[in-house]
Amino acid sequence: MKSKSKVKKYLRYSLLIVLTLIFLLPVFFMVISSFMSTKEVSEMLNFNTGEFTSFKLIPGDFSLEQYYRVFFRNPQYLKEFWNSVLITFPTVICQLIVSSLAAFAFGKLKFPGRDKIFFVYMILLILPIQVTLVPSYFMYQKIDLLNNVMSIILPGTFSAFGICLLRQNVRYISDASIEAARVDGASYFKIFFRIILPQIRGGLISLALLTFVDTWGVIEQPLIYFTDRSKYPLSVSLSAGSADTQIIFACGVMFMIPALLIYFLGEKDLRSSFTRI
Amino acid sequence: MKFEKKQAVWAYIFLLPSLIGIAIFYVIPYLMCIYNSFMGTGGFAGFDNYIAIFKNRAFLYALRNTMIFTLIAIPSLMIISFLIAKFMNSFKKISAFFRSAYLMPIVIPAASLIYIWQLLFDDQGTINGILNFFGIDNIHFFSSGFSMVMIILIYIWKNCGFCVILFTAGLANLPNSVHESAHLEGAGGFTTTVKITLPLITPTTFFVFLMALINSFRMFRESFSLFGTYPNENVYFLQNFINNNYNNFNYSQLSSSAIVMSLIFIGIMLAFFMYERKADYME
Amino acid sequence: MKKIKLVNLILACFLVLTLLFFTACSADSNQDYIGNNKDQGTDTSSRDDRVTIYTYVDPEDSNQHYDNDTMFYYPILQMAHMYNNYCSMNGVGERAVEVVKFPSRDRMIQQMSTEIMAGGGPDIILLDNELPISKLVNQGAFADLNTFIENDKSENRLNLKNYNRHLLETGVFNGKRYIMPMLYRPDVLISNTKVLSHYKVDSSKKLTYSNLMESLKTYMAQDEKISFLEGYESSKDLLLQYINDNVDREKAKTDFESKDFKQTVQSIKKLITKDMEGEKTIHSVNENNCLFEKGGFDSEGRYFPINYSLPNLQALSNDDFSIWNLDQDLLDQYAQEFYSKINPDDDFLWEDINRQFEQFVMENESDNFNDNLAMTGKTTLMDGITKDKNSRRGEITCGFMINGNSSKELQENAYDFMKYSLGERMQRYVTYDSTYSTSKASDVPNIYNLPVNNEALKTSYSDIGISEKKIKRITKNSSFLEKIINHSQSLNTFVIKDGYYNKNVIGGLVEDFLQDKISLDNFITNLKSKTEIYLYE
């Protein structure tokens, strides 16, 4: 009886590890490949050898060649990285501000038409980007936003996604504390800053992370809205076809580092926020 | 009375930036799109554009594939992540490492992983290598019906972690007594899950569903990088259709198909919304 | 406590970055529209009253290279330049054509597509490989040119009889004339009699897809390092052409599943991949390492299509004796010998004397010349490969459409420009004269196509043939130049290449197939599904 439960325990743990490996391996492999020499990478990505490709978990010859090329030989990638930063960071910040304000209104305040407006938001949230891409183009042309990073930052800022996410968080805050503050004569702004914001910190961080990832990987909009190739973010040149295969993995690692940083910095808060949903 | 009015005014003040932004960047383009879907080259065209696209075989392919993808990928994603979440919750203590590992795929942008997928799924790729080892014929992931399988697998892999986290959180919030009492009454594990757990975590499920739906549009990025503008007919999605009509200058066809696409998704969401409402009342 | 500090730190970083961003933004905004392309912004008022053409090709940019893509633009830009001079000289400067230049082709096509969708766009749309012409025609994006031709009562009205009938018909869809071709090139394979006879290819026999393997039996059997065409570009085009020949665009049907198709695709692949080592291999008939030529390579190894300007065709005809091809020293010797006999005090015309000199040189050199010719072989041509053995194909390389969105007045003005460019003078100019490019930038290659205007071709041809008429020819057979001109007059099928289909829809697939990345069956299944989607769309 005891041995049976022990077997069961081992089985459960090995299943856990297998599952984890499935999620981790591709990522792990990308990091590994970034330390291969460019020659090894092109050999690996050659599908014409007649043999089946395999994943090398240890680079044949460890080298920093890819990183060297990204950082010193092709400054274009660094420039694009910077372009990505210019698009992403403002989007994240503005989205946090706009969404938390609106989420407070939707989550805790009563006003006529609240549910109807929220439903419209949800519908707008699930609109595929292709629906608004072309009309937006005409509009940006009229208000002179083409070829301007604002054409990506502004729609990102006002995406309804953050409102949906934060509203869930706001709703879990107890009404009593708000009520008490109001009885004390605190203004709504004070309530927002003193009570709401500290309690949805986890939600804010997860929103920051998700918005970051989304904007960081933007492809369609810059291709259509930007006239000037030098303004393209890194994600555009990393999308297959246009990228230099020899340094693709180093670029990929460079590309995911900012997202990982945010993730690790806010990891604790992040998990606590999800317990609220 | 006065207090409520004040609250409403303040609510609108808090909402104002968002309302303005949503109106300019989402509502107006959407209305423009609707307007254009009724216009042809020679002026007002009524429903002609809609009739035309439903006669267009490429559009029907795209519609079929998009529906297949939505109807298979989203439920599978939800079921798989629910099962993994239950599995994770069955451990009394679990290292944060495992939970972080599951979130990794969503942190990594689509573009970085394209080559990994190619290595895995190519005709000469690793998966085919393994299949070959067991004496199974090659699967052409890039040029047959398996392309859809491949896209669905990548979609699940990418979004599973996030949904697992959402579900574990939802499950962890359930009071233990619920399960115990059900157990005492002699209900089996499966019955408990379906009859008790699922209805209790409906809000979570709804949120997971919403995330899955939103992320299903984003799969187009992967599909686009893997298959290009003209993929094989099995992974030709509505997004491809719309995109190619943009390249073909066919604006009215583009608009009407975009509207059809949004209507479908609104319909799916509405159905789910009703379900959530109903569950709310049952509570 | 530590956690909060970290979060604060991140937020501080965010703030700093935002500040940086805004400063960067304001600094950037001045350079949004650089140089020539300032017109592509929102301000359309300045060019509302002027006919516009969009281009991404700049004849004055020596870095730009003349190839299959840019050849649609050079001639029209030259004509626009001439037309604008003509307008300003005649006091109708407001009719001048405004050329809007874009930094890249993608950009241009994208801007154009959005503008046309929004009900605007350039007034004159040039044929471009990447424009989905057939789709645009179906949507009625272009104006019917017949209405202008019929309404035109002026004395220089367009007489369509002066033009190649088959060629003009290519632009007519359902009775409406949407496309006006300007220039074309025949689909011919250029080779050398010696090479052909070595591989027992009968140059008088027409090559079709079905007799291809039979006719090239000896070539296929050889092991020498000699490829079929001069480079990868042309080879790929051959396969693409065959695929296009099996697509029925009107009925939205393909022939890809027939056994015949499969076999021919396989043999074409075998043919063109024979001794062709990837994209960088460069071959030429003159060096005896390829069987046929459809183009050549410049000093930097960049491909360009064969130059159909008459002077170049004459230079290619090595069976035409020209004293200018002789070695300079030898020519000096002859000159000394000949001119020393002439008494400068005599009464004569220099022109006659010069002709006598040519005659003199030719008589002395004729044996040498014939020997040489026998050794190197004559330049010759074979009709391009087609499905039907009676069809002789040509390709339209330059032409234009008038935007259906434009105002009546602008359309009329655009039509005037069209008339001007179809006139004999202009058509001769782009076939023969090269003053524009030499005066502007000497680096621009003078690569031309043949004109639609029959009269222009005839005049140019007789201009270049002046010396030949007056002196006896060495060889009795008709020269290469004559052959190619006659051939181009006999063409009966003209195509506008669907570059969008060839490149965006099936380009990658064909490439994969040629490089053995996918199997034949796989190739055909995918080809079918992609093509069908494209046709239905």
SS (H, E, C) A131-149: HHHHHHHHHHHHCCCCCCC
- Asked whether the beta carbons of B148 and B141 are under 8 A apart, the reply is no
> How many residues in total does chain B contain?
283
- The answer to whether position C106 is within a domain reads yes
Residues C296, C430 within the same domain: no
Chain B, window 209-248: residues with a beta carbon less than 8 angstroms from a chain C beta carbon: 228-233, 236, 241, 244-248
State whether C178 and C47 are in the same domain. Answer: yes
Q: Does the residue C133 lie in any domain?
A: yes
Q: What is the pLDDT, as a whole number, of residue C437?
A: 41
B61 touches chain C (CB under 8 A): yes
The whole-number pLDDT of residue A87 equals: 92
Domain boundary among C438, C454, C470: C454
Q: How many domains does chain C have?
A: 2
Last residue of some domain: C435, C454, C473? C454
Positions of chain A with pLDDT under 50: none
- Do C50 and C66 lie in a common domain? yes
Q: What is the pLDDT of residue C473?
A: 53
On whether both C305 and C234 belong to a single domain, the answer is: yes
C25 in a structural domain: no
Q: Which chains does C contact via 3+ CB–CB distances below 8 A?
A: A, B
Band the pLDDT of B77: cuts 50, 70, 90: very high
How many Cβ atoms sit within 10 Å of the Cβ of residue B192? Answer: 17
Domain range enclosing C49: 42-186+396-454
- In B, which residues are within 8 Å of C504 by CB distance? 229-230, 247
- Domains of chain A are 1-63 (no CATH), 75-274 (1.10.3720.10)
Query: How far is B39 from A245, CA to CA, in rounded Å?
Result: 44
CA angle C517, C518, C522 (to 5 degrees): 170
How far B256 CA lies from chain A's nearest CA (Å)?
A: 9
Q: Spell out which residues of chain C touch residue B65, defining contact as CB-CB under 8 Å.
A: none
What is the pLDDT at residue C133?
83
Q: Give the torsion sign (CA, B254, B260, B261, B266).
A: positive
d(CA C109, CA C395) in angstroms, rounded, equals 22
Question: Which of C118, C140, C536 has the CB atom closest to B57's CB atom?
Answer: C536
Question: Is A235 in the B-facing interface, judged by CB distances under 8 Å?
Answer: yes
- Which chains, if any, share at least 3 CB pairs under 8 A with chain B? A, C
pLDDT digits (tens, 9 = 90+) for C223-243: 777 788 887 888 888 899 999
Are C210 and C297 in a shared domain? yes
A158-169 per-position pLDDT tens digit: 998 899 888 888
Q: Are C283 and C227 in contact (CB under 8 A)?
A: yes
Q: Are residues C212 and C311 in the same domain?
A: yes
Give the one of B42, B230, B254 whose C-beta lies nearest to C533's C-beta: B230
Domain boundary among C413, C439, C454: C454
Residues C269 and C177 in one domain: no
CATH number at residue C435: 3.40.190.10
* Pair type for strands C247-248 and C253-254: antiparallel
Query: What pLDDT, on the 0 to 100 scale, is given for residue A104?
Result: 92
Tokens of B49: 């554009």
Q: Flag whether C85 is in a domain.
A: yes
- ipTM for the complex? 0.83
Residue C165, in any domain of the structure: yes
pLDDT band at C280 (very low <50, low <70, confident <90, very high): low
Q: Is residue C463 part of a domain?
A: no
Task: Please tell me whether residues C110 and C148 are part of one structural domain.
Answer: yes
Question: What residue in A sits closest to C30 (Cα-Cα)?
Answer: A148
Query: Residue B151: pLDDT band by 50, 70, 90 thresholds?
Result: very high
Residue C438 domain flag:
yes
Mean pLDDT over residues C151-161, rounded? Answer: 82
Q: Are residues C449 and C528 in the same domain?
A: no
The confidence score (pLDDT) of residue A80 equals 85
Q: What pLDDT, on the 0 to 100 scale, is given for residue B88?
A: 83
Per-residue pLDDT reduced to its tens digit, B121-135: 887 788 888 888 888
Q: What is the mean pLDDT of residues C432-460?
A: 60
In a shared domain, residues C175 and C82: yes
Q: Are residues C231 and C178 in the same domain?
A: no
Task: Report the chain B residue with the minimal C-alpha distance to residue C107.
Answer: B247
Residues 6 or more apart from A156 whose CB is under 8 A from it?
A91, A94, A95, A211, A214, A215
B contact test, residue of C113, C137, C534, C537 with most B CBs within 10 A: C537
User: Is the same domain home to C167 and C50?
Assistant: yes
Q: Is C341 on the interface with A (CB under 8 A)?
A: no
Q: Sort out which chain B residues have CB atoms less than 8 A from A15's CB and list them.
A: 87
Residue B62 Cα, gap to closest chain C Cα (Å): 9
Of B230, B247, B248, the CB nearest to C530: B230
Residue C244 inside a domain? The answer is yes
**pLDDT value of position B22:** 92
Residue C330's pLDDT band (cuts 50, 70, 90): confident
- Domains, chain B, in order of start with CATH, read 55-282 (1.10.3720.10)
Give the HSE-up count for residue A97: Cα atoms under 13 Å, Cβ half-sphere. Answer: 13
Alpha-carbon distance of A212 to A208, in angstroms, equals: 6
Residue C86 in this model has a pLDDT that exceeds 80: yes
Backbone angles phi and psi of C360, in degrees to 5? -60, -50
